[in-house]
Amino acid sequence: MCKVSIAVSGLVLLGIACAGGFFADNFGNGVLFALLFSGFPPIVSMVLSMCMKKTASQVILAVSSLLYGVFFAYSVYHAFYVQLYPQSGLVFLLGVFMLPYLLAFWIVVFVVDRWRKK
């Protein structure tokens, strides 16, 4: 199950990098900006996925990465296609704004992985 969680996080990370490069004037700068601010949650999920041993933890990490990726895709679509404003590039700060919600997922993963049946 660890491989599935890493693959989901990797696909989300690839999507973020492609979106950042596509909407920037300079491809390299766009990818760097997108990965710096929006790409760190999938990276953290990958690292946690390698550390956690229980299948329930892996499933929670895969689902949280998938939900983050879907919300990121929706936000980019809405910012660049539905309502294009000069501040639309701020959608790439989504990783910072989503941090409280993702921290809740990561804490639950840590608790589930450390839970021991008596």
- Give per-residue pLDDT as tens, 15-48: 887 877 776 666 666 677 777 888 888 889 889 9
68 Cβ contact partners less than 8 Å away, ≥ 6 residues apart: 12, 41, 42, 98, 102
d(CA 25, CA 13): 20
Q: Which residues contact 90 (CB under 8 A, 6 or more apart)?
A: 79
- pTM confidence score: 0.83
Identify the domain containing residue 19 by its residue range.
2-114
Asked if residue 35 lies in contact with residue 14, where contact means CB atoms within 8 angstroms, the answer is: no
16: tokens are 């973020």
* CA atoms lying within 13 Å on the CB side of residue 35: 16
Domain tally, the chain:
1
